[in-house]
Amino acid sequence: MNELSPDGVLFVGDLGEGDLRLVKAIKNLPVPTAVILGNHDRGHDRTGELLRLQLNLLGDLHCGWRLREWNSPDVAVVGARPCSSGGGFHLSPEVLGAFGPITLQDSARRIALAAKEVPSSKPLVILAHAGPTGLGSDAESPCGRDWKVPAMDWGDKDLELAVDQIRKRRIPDLVVFGHMHHSLRGGGRTRRTFVEDRWGTVYLNTACVPRRCKDSDGNNLSHLSWVEFVNGRLNHVSHRWFRNDSSVAYEQLLLSR
């Protein structure tokens, strides 16, 4: 991140089973950041104590059900439900321990209320761990279940409801999430990672796993999803694989305006 020097960084969760070292490293990054914790960040202690510890360390960087507004870059990030494992709506014991009981409707309302605070002049990005329902029911869909037959939509219902509510006031520019890996189980197939709906909202699945790999020559590569806004408008989306010297080895272009 120091070599690339991006304007801002979004973390979609699954940082490492409650490993506090990465949380602390994110806290020390010298660029604007926003974080949503994933299902593999819950800590598996059922009390929510380790989850609360991560939330306390991250402070305002964690935007679950909240607005994180950047001034440079001039972008607003609204967090969805933290620690989601997809599949509609479910709260784990750890999430219940950290946040208390929250209904499907409450979760959707919290996301929509946070988005209501965003000035109309700023691009609105929604940051989630699991993407919303409604993007397809095939295994190849951005949130499609690929590990069990039949395939089905494994997105978050509360996030879909929230986007519908937000859309009554404005169109979200970008919904960024992870959770569902790009490589599908069996057959060497890959997931569709980019969707633009009929209202113009872009949905981007960033879960290229593992993020670090080697090319055919043995060079180290690191994957990042890359987006660019120009004059408040989303005009570039891609998956990029960077070399150690921060140069781009490969790029999969998804959107260019």
Quick one: pLDDT at residue 230?
95
Quick one: pLDDT at residue 186?
81
Mean pLDDT of 36-52: 92
Structure tokens at 172: 């979200």
Tens of pLDDT, residue by residue over 71-127, are: 899 999 999 999 999 999 999 999 999 999 999 999 999 999 999 999 999 999 999
Question: In angstroms, rounded to a whole number, what is the distance separating the alpha carbons of residues 136 and 163?
Answer: 16
**Domains of the chain, each with CATH number or no CATH:** 9-210 (3.30.750.180)
Mean pLDDT of 175-192: 93
Quick one: pLDDT at residue 45?
85
174 closest CA partner among 114, 227, 138: 227
CA distances for 150 relative to 137, 144, 249, angstroms: 9, 10, 37
Q: If pLDDT is split at 50, 70 and 90, which confidence band does 1 have?
A: confident
Question: In angstroms, rounded to a whole number, what is the distance separating the alpha carbons of residues 177 and 139?
Answer: 17
Distance of CA 38 to the CA centre of its chain: 9
Quick one: pLDDT at residue 19?
84
What pTM was computed for the model?
0.96
Using DSSP, how many helices (H) and how many strands (E) does the chain show?
Answer: 5, 12
Strand order in the sheet with 233-242: 212-214, 220-230, 233-242, 248-256
Q: Collect all residues with Cβ–Cβ distance below 8 Å to 138 and sequence separation of at least 6.
A: 144, 151
Question: In angstroms, rounded to a whole number, what is the distance separating the alpha carbons of residues 127 and 19?
Answer: 21
Query: Which alpha helices (H) appear in the chain, and where do they start and end?
Result: 20-27, 49-58, 93-99, 104-116, 157-166
